[in-house]
């Protein structure tokens, strides 16, 4: 259900209901934070609808955020999960987006919070959760609470853009962005609708900064035989991933298209040592950008702190960026990622 600002207090304390996810705004209304009864949390800035924090039940942060990131709306956030739309990078040769700044305007526009919704999966007599808690009503409530999820919805339309953005990209659109927190995963889903009388082309990407302990012990699986564009070479080159695992030992900026008839169906798993740390599942996003600035580039970015922070981050970015997505009037483009803790796959 959509949360109401003035719901009756009795609704929150109805006997027998499991604890509910809590949603709160910051004092300046610049961000919204959702917390599950089991302790997991996610925080989203309205500026850019940028996810800036995702913590597990122990309070351990799963996303990397630069200590110098600007969170006041003065520039796009360095870290978390910025949104890329309608252009990936810059496209000086593309007529419709050539005037736009790098990665477009989604990450630098203020989004509207549309509300929250919650769901739960109730244990049944055939589930372990039920068997473990059937002797206690309080235990059954706790089990139901552990299965709760919370979804936060955000909206942006062409009418909400700055005058500068509208002048550079004069097309009517509507965007709905949903961030869903579960006990062991985070899902981000973006739907873009063409509300114009003209067709237009776009790209979209979720620029996810994953937190790792030591980049030198990280390996990325799921990219074997994938073609990729290497943006660190001059001129930019195209190649194929031969090894079963990608490791990072220098500046890395690659746009992968996983092998197979359905590239978006290939899970991408990030290991630290021999332990799976994250599994990234994609829906309708055929490409995966892998990025780490390494030493020299990190030094040259004013908002990248600490300068050795490249050791503790890895960008694995699901997107539709290898080609242009054409939206006819009334058409919609949807893409989603689910980041699962560990090696689990939904």
Phi and psi of 166, rounded to 5°?
A: -65, -35
**Other residues' Cβ atoms within 10 Å of the Cβ of residue 219:** 16
Closest CA to 221 of 262, 280, 263: 280
Residues found in the chain:
346
**Known active-site residue 163:** no
User: Which residues, 6+ apart, have CB-to-CB distance to 167 below 8 Å?
Assistant: none
**d(C-alpha 36, C-alpha 277), whole Å:** 21
Closest CA to 188 of 277, 319, 77: 319
Q: Following DSSP, what letter does each residue of 274-317 receive, concatenated?
A: TEEEEEEEEES--EEEEEE-HHHHHHH-TT--STTGGGGEEEEE
Instruction: Return binding residues.
Output: 78, 102, 107
**Known active-site residue 272:** no
**d(C-alpha 277, C-alpha 279), whole Å:** 7
SS3 of residue 240 by DSSP: strand
Give the dihedral sign, CA 28/84/79/149: positive
Instruction: Return binding residues for substrate.
Output: 78, 102, 107
The one catalytic residue among 61, 99, 120, 207: 207
The one catalytic residue among 67, 120, 221, 317: 317
**d(C-alpha 46, C-alpha 76), whole Å:** 12
Residues labelled catalytic? 207, 317
């Amino acid at each position: 259900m959509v949360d109401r600002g003035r719901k009756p207090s009795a609704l929150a304390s109805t006997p027998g209901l499991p604890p509910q996810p809590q949603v709160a705004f910051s004092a300046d209304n610049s961000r919204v934070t959702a917390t599950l009864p089991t302790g997991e949390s996610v925080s989203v800035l309205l500026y850019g609808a940028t996810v800036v924090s995702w913590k597990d039940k122990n309070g351990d942060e799963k996303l990397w955020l630069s200590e110098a990131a600007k969170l006041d709306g003065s520039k796009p956030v360095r870290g978390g999960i910025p949104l890329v739309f309608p252009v990936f990078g810059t496209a000086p040769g593309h007529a419709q987006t050539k005037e736009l700044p790098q990665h477009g305007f989604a990450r630098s526009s203020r989004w509207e919070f549309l509300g929250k919704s919650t769901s739960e999966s109730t244990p049944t007599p055939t589930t372990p959760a039920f068997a473990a808690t059937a002797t206690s009503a309080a235990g059954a409530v706790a089990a139901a609470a552990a299965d709760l999820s919370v979804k936060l919805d955000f909206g942006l339309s062409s009418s909400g853009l700055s005058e500068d953005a509208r002048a550079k990209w004069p097309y009517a659109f509507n965007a709905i962005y949903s961030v869903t927190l579960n006990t062991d995963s985070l899902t981000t889903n973006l739907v873009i609708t063409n509300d114009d009388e003209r067709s237009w082309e776009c790209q979209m990407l979720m620029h996810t900064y994953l937190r790792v302990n030591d980049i030198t012990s990280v390996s990325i699986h799921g990219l074997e035989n994938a073609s990729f564009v290497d943006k660190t070479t001059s001129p930019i080159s195209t190649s194929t991933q031969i090894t079963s695992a990608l490791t990072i030992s220098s500046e890395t900026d690659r746009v992968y298209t996983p092998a197979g008839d359905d590239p978006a169906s290939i899970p991408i798993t990030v290991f630290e040592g021999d332990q799976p740390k994250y599994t990234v599942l994609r829906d309708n996003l055929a490409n995966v950008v892998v990025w780490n600035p390494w030493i020299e580039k990190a030094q040259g970015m004013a908002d990248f702190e600490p300068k050795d922070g490249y050791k503790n981050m890895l960008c694995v970015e699901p997107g539709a960026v290898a080609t242009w997505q054409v939206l006819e009037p009334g058409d919609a483009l949807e893409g989603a990622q689910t980041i699962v803790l560990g090696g689990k796959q939904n």
